[in-house]
């Protein structure tokens, strides 16, 4: 997913215009941490535990990597969108690629995103049904979250 690099805005002279991006600050308003893909009962249970917490989401990137994300503004984010510790910002901020980021791309950064347990379980039940049923069998999915699964009608043979 490539995007055209935006025109750089005027900014404080301390900033290096060759590396600074438009200061929308969208990437400074959350913390995302890599997690295991929910591909086993234990991993589903852990992912579910995460989204049981208000304000915690999980998502899958377009590259197939899974993350836990918590919305939280960085204390260094300035009202004009610039970084208050730009010269000494964390390495992870320096490495973040403006090309295709949420501030410059029209496409959502995530392939899949779940902000609550119900939407995650619904996806699991419909898209990973065998694993979902195993999770139900192991007792890690409360009844209140279990959607009704509709079975496909068998194809009738034309007489």
User: Which residues form the interface with ligand SF4 (CB under 6 A)?
Assistant: 21-28, 74, 76-77, 83, 85, 89-90, 93, 96, 98, 101-104
Beta partners for residue 67, in sequence order: 34, 59
Nearest CA among 115, 111, 113, 117 for reference residue 44:
117
Strands (E) located in the chain: 30-35, 56-61, 66-71, 110-114
Q: Which is nearer to ligand SF4, 28 or 125 (CB)?
A: 28
Maximal C-alpha separation, the chain = 81
Q: Which is nearer to ligand SF4, 24 or 56 (CB)?
A: 24
48 three-state secondary structure: helix
Q: Which is nearer to ligand SF4, 100 or 116 (CB)?
A: 100
Separation of alpha carbons 87 and 101, rounded Å: 21
Question: Nearest residue by C-beta to ligand SF4?
Answer: 103
Q: Which is nearer to ligand SF4, 98 or 133 (CB)?
A: 98
Shortest Cβ 134–ligand SF4 spacing (Å): 38
């Amino acid at each position: 997913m490539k995007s055209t690099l935006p025109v750089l805005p005027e900014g404080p002279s301390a900033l290096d215009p060759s590396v600074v991006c438009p200061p929308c600050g969208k990437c400074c308003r959350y913390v995302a941490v890599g997690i295991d893909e929910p591909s086993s009962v234990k991993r589903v249970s852990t992912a579910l535990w995460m989204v049981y917490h208000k304000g915690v989401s999980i998502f899958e990137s377009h590259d197939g990597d899974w993350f836990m994300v918590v919305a939280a503004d960085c204390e260094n984010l300035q009202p004009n969108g610039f970084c208050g510790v730009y010269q000494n910002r964390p390495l992870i901020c320096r490495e973040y690629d403006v090309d295709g980021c949420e501030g410059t791309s029209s496409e959502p950064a995530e392939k899949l995103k779940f902000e609550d347990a119900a939407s995650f379980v619904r996806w699991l039940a419909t898209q990973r049904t065998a694993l979902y049923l195993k999770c139900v069998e192991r007792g890690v999915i409360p009844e209140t979250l279990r959607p009704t699964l509709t079975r496909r009608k068998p194809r009738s043979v034309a007489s």
